């Protein structure tokens, strides 16, 4: 007997939580750093173009950059220290040097 007559029938397989090991997280840390570099290259080019409403390409690129960061959970930022045994985590010399200069 169906106690929920309006409930949809779900078919499929329930997946367990995804697991990242330290090596995978190290790759995520590297991907985040590379994305940050790409973003620093693109924003100075995009910023003046975003004022022009007719320039949809600049808006599309800016939107995709934001969506990558959002939907990747900033490349699993909250788990970034898991990859420390395989790569550097935390301060990046190229950014920290410029910030203190």
pLDDT value of position 39: 93
Is 51 part of any domain?
A: yes
Is 76 part of any domain?
A: yes
pLDDT value of position 89: 55
Is 10 part of any domain?
A: no
Q: What is the mean pLDDT of each run of 10 residues along the chain (101 residues)?
A: 58 66 83 92 90 84 91 82 65 47 45
Is 20 part of any domain?
A: no
pLDDT value of position 99: 44
Domain count, the chain: 1
Please provide the DSSP assignment of 62-82 as one string.
HHHHHHHHHHTHHHHGGGGGG
pLDDT value of position 23: 82
Is 47 part of any domain?
A: yes
pLDDT value of position 98: 47
Q: Give me 39's structure tokens.
A: 């973003």
The answer to pTM > 0.75 is no
Is 2 part of any domain?
A: no
Domain that holds residue 75: 37-100
């Amino acid at each position: 007997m169906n106690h929920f007559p309006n409930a949809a029938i779900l078919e499929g397989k329930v997946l367990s939580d995804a697991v990242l090991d330290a090596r995978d997280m190290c790759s995520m840390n590297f991907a985040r750093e590379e994305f940050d570099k790409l973003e620093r290259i693109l924003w100075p080019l995009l910023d003046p173009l975003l004022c022009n409403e007719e320039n949809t390409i600049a808006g599309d690129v800016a939107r995709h950059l934001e969506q990558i960061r959002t939907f990747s959970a900033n490349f699993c930022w909250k788990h970034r220290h898991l990859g420390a045994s395989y790569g550097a985590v935390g301060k990046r010399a190229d950014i920290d040097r410029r910030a203190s200069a």
